[in-house]
Amino acid sequence: MQTKITGRVWKYGDDVNTDVIFPGKYTYSISDPKEMAQHALEDLDPTFVAHVQPGDIIVAGKNWGCGSSREQAVTCLKEAGVGAIVARSFARIYFRNCINEALPIATCDAVDGVESGDEVTIDFAAGTVTTPTGDYAFPPLSPEVMEILNTGGLIPYARKQLGLE
Amino acid sequence: MGHTFAEKVLARKAGLDSVVPGQIVTVRPDKLLTHDNTSAIAGQFRKIGVSKMADPDMSVIVLDHVTPAASETYAASHQATRQFVAEQGISAFYDIGEGICHQVLPEKGHAWPGAVIVGSDSHTPTYGAFGAFSAGIGRTEAAAVMATGQIWLRVPESLRIIVNGTLPDRVSAKDVILHVIGDLRADGADYRSVEFAGETVRNMSIASRMVLTNMAAEMGAKNAVVEPDEKTWAWLNRNQVFRKKPGFSPTYYEEVHADPDATYERVIEYDVSGLVPQVARPHTVDNVVPIAEVVGTPINQALVGTCTNGRLEDLAAAAEILRGKHIAPSVRLLVLPASREVLLAAIERGFVSDLVAAGATLLNPGCGPCLGAHEGCMAPGEVTISTANRNFKGRMGSKEAFIYLASPATVAASALSGVITDPREV
């Protein structure tokens, strides 16, 4: 995993649920990640898919990714090019899905200091998100969780555990 | 120093003397639930590169989300699941028509006090109504559990929610949990273990306790639990499931109870003796108001069912209100029993004929329109009042539609009049 990520901000609010990140009507009918990316944030921000650039960073309020456990709500963003997600807090299963899909995340209040289109830098080694209006510190992930992220997600990690790598 | 339910059950499962909140433990779950997403999980499982599951007896698979298949795409997905079941030698497979996973697992003896259950569905905490530790996980995680037989879990902080008081007439567990979620908000229990206690919970049926643990997911809970008691044992053994199917479940289980001196992040007490029916307005589950604030809102569709409120007592509550009457001509009433077992019991008691005669459309046991894939999606501008657990934008079809969440009694009363109606007034 890169220790420093810089990207352009897409700013969202509190309690954004997985139904608006990836609608339930597609959960059992779309299996191709590229097709999933075409529906990312469809019911929250219809402009997102047309304008997202590789490496963009989502910066949101509390409880990002609440609701359904659907992992496509992570896959669709990753496939759309999102480089990281910063939120005031994450819903638990969404948090795990990010780790398992190796999509870097940071938990802090950076949403207070940014607008959509700003550039921010996440420094995972220092534990800071640098925004145009100041720095926001975030707590490090536990070593167990970092290991999964650094291995490239849960599939490579499970392969390693099973001695297949 | 005492320990919470989550601390005790995870320590026991991890083979440790004790654990503390924040600690990461690796455990071997007793059961792994997957549903229609099994075909996708099987794909992830193959990517890991093993051919056989670590323990096929751990796996419980229920086809319930879009059943019977709504299109060729769904049919192919179900077919892939059946092939995976055969290839892996999974005995606990329940094909379409058996019911919703969260009802079927306990009915078939796959949930019991002290068990650790993980499932690729966010409402997996439901089994806490039986004293189990159960938590939702993602698809890739489910695949990794299949391959390794293990999962990492963070020991959660715990909240204890104590509910006292006798519930008024036509006010039920659904009103209690909507009130709690409205109070604690959508992230009020994020990553926490929630213990429901108090005389109201003690006096509740198992079905009502399942409403509490099911909806704890809507305030972010990792798991939720009600202490097992004689009712739990009686329910689990009502069909002698444990004795009949010794291969599926232990015939003996050891209950896990929180210590009286356990440390909680918060203890929250409610007195529900004066509680009125509660309604969650669109588009978030924590947007809860007393019914008086929404009475008179016109509805197009009413839904009684789902993993939250599709059990016999829920159909009984709706039948009691609708028996001998007819729903408003402007309303479509959908009724979905949570399982085949519930449907059979409802037929036997006459609830099905009461409801169908009153104008209800009976759907097969399963998730139905709750996730917006089939069987009752809404057009733009339409309004549904539902006994389900989610009212997110776009959840049941159009993103321009509106979902209100309420108890079976409130939904039935509203179907009768065509507008949101206080069930105490019909």
CA B226/CA B237 separation, integer angstroms: 18
A101 lies in some domain:
yes
Report the amino acid identity of residue A50.
A
Total domain count for chain A?
A: 1
pLDDT in tens, A62-95: 999 999 999 999 999 999 999 999 999 999 999 9
Burial of B28 (0-12, 13-18, 19+ CB in 10 A): middle
pLDDT at B246 (0 to 100): 46
- Kindly state whether residue A154 falls inside one of the protein's structural domains: no
CATH of the domain at A120: 3.20.19.10
d(CA A67, CA B260): 32
Interface mutation vs chain B, best among A93, A149, A157, most B CBs within 10 Å: A93
Residue B410's pLDDT is 98
> Nearest residue of A to residue B374 by CA position?
A25
Residues in CB range of A103: below 8 A, 6 or more apart: A74, A77, A78, A82, A84, A85
Rounded Cα distance between A127 and B88, Å, is 44
Task: Establish if B43 touches chain A: CB-CB under 8 angstroms.
Answer: yes
B177, B239, B179: which is closest to B204 by C-alpha? B177
* pLDDT value at residue B236: 87
Using the Cα atoms of residue B12, residue B144, residue B68 and residue B408 in order, give the sign of their dihedral. Answer: positive
Domain that residue A115 falls in:
4-139
d(CA A44, CA A22): 9
In percent, the amount of chain B with pLDDT more than 90 equals 94
What class has domain B279-425? alpha beta
A4 touches chain B (CB under 8 A): no
Q: What is the mean pLDDT of each run of 10 residues along chain B (426 residues)?
A: 96 97 96 97 96 97 97 96 98 97 95 96 98 97 98 97 98 98 97 98 98 98 96 82 48 87 98 98 98 98 98 98 98 98 97 98 97 95 98 95 98 98 97
Q: Does B309 touch chain A (CB under 8 A)?
A: no
What per-residue confidence (pLDDT) applies to B158? 98
Q: Which of B74, B137, B147 sits opposite A29 (nearest CB)?
A: B74
CB B195 within 8 A of CB B222: no
Task: Give the CA distances from residue B275 to residues B271, B291, B304, B405, in Å, rounded to whole numbers and listed in that order.
Answer: 8, 11, 22, 16
- Picking from B48, B122, B137, the nearest residue to A68 by CB comes out as B122
Are B108 and B125 within 8 A, CB to CB? no
Task: Work out the minimum CA distance from A11 to partner chain B, whole angstroms.
Answer: 19
Q: Which one of B43, B191, B395 has the shortest CB-CB distance to A24? A: B395
Band (A2; pLDDT cuts 50, 70, 90): confident
**CB contacts, 8 Å: B28 with chain A:** none
The reply to whether A43 touches chain B by the CB within 8 Å rule is yes
Using the Cβ of B379 and the Cβ atoms of chain A, whether some distance falls under 8 Å is answered with no
Question: Chain A within 8 Å of B44 (Cβ-Cβ)?
Answer: yes
- pTM, to two decimals: 0.96
Q: Angle at CA B113, nearest 5°, toward B37 and B251?
A: 95
Give residues with Cβ within 8 angstroms of B124, minimum separation 6.
A69, B33, B102, B117, B118, B134, B135, B136, B137, B217
Q: B373 — contact with chain A (CB < 8 Å)?
A: yes
- Let me know: does B251 contact B237? Beta carbons within 8 Å: no
pLDDT digits (tens, 9 = 90+) for A6-65: 999 999 999 999 999 999 889 888 999 999 999 999 999 999 999 999 999 999 999 999
Average confidence score pLDDT of chain B: 95
- Ranges of each domain in chain B: 23-153, 156-238+260-275, 279-425
Same topology, domains B23-153 and B156-238+260-275? Answer is: no
Distance (Å, whole) CA B79 – CA A101: 26
Cβ atoms of A158 and B48 closer than 8 Å: yes
- Asked, for residue A161, whether it belongs to a domain, the answer is no
Contact B48 A97 (CB under 8 A): no
Classify domain B23-153 at the CATH superfamily level.
Aconitase, domain 3 (3.30.499.10)
**ipTM confidence score:** 0.93
* B:229-258 residues touching chain A, CB 8 A cutoff: none
Residue A155 lies in a domain: no
The CATH H-level (homologous superfamily) assignment of domain B156-238+260-275 is: Aconitase, Domain 2 (3.40.1060.10)
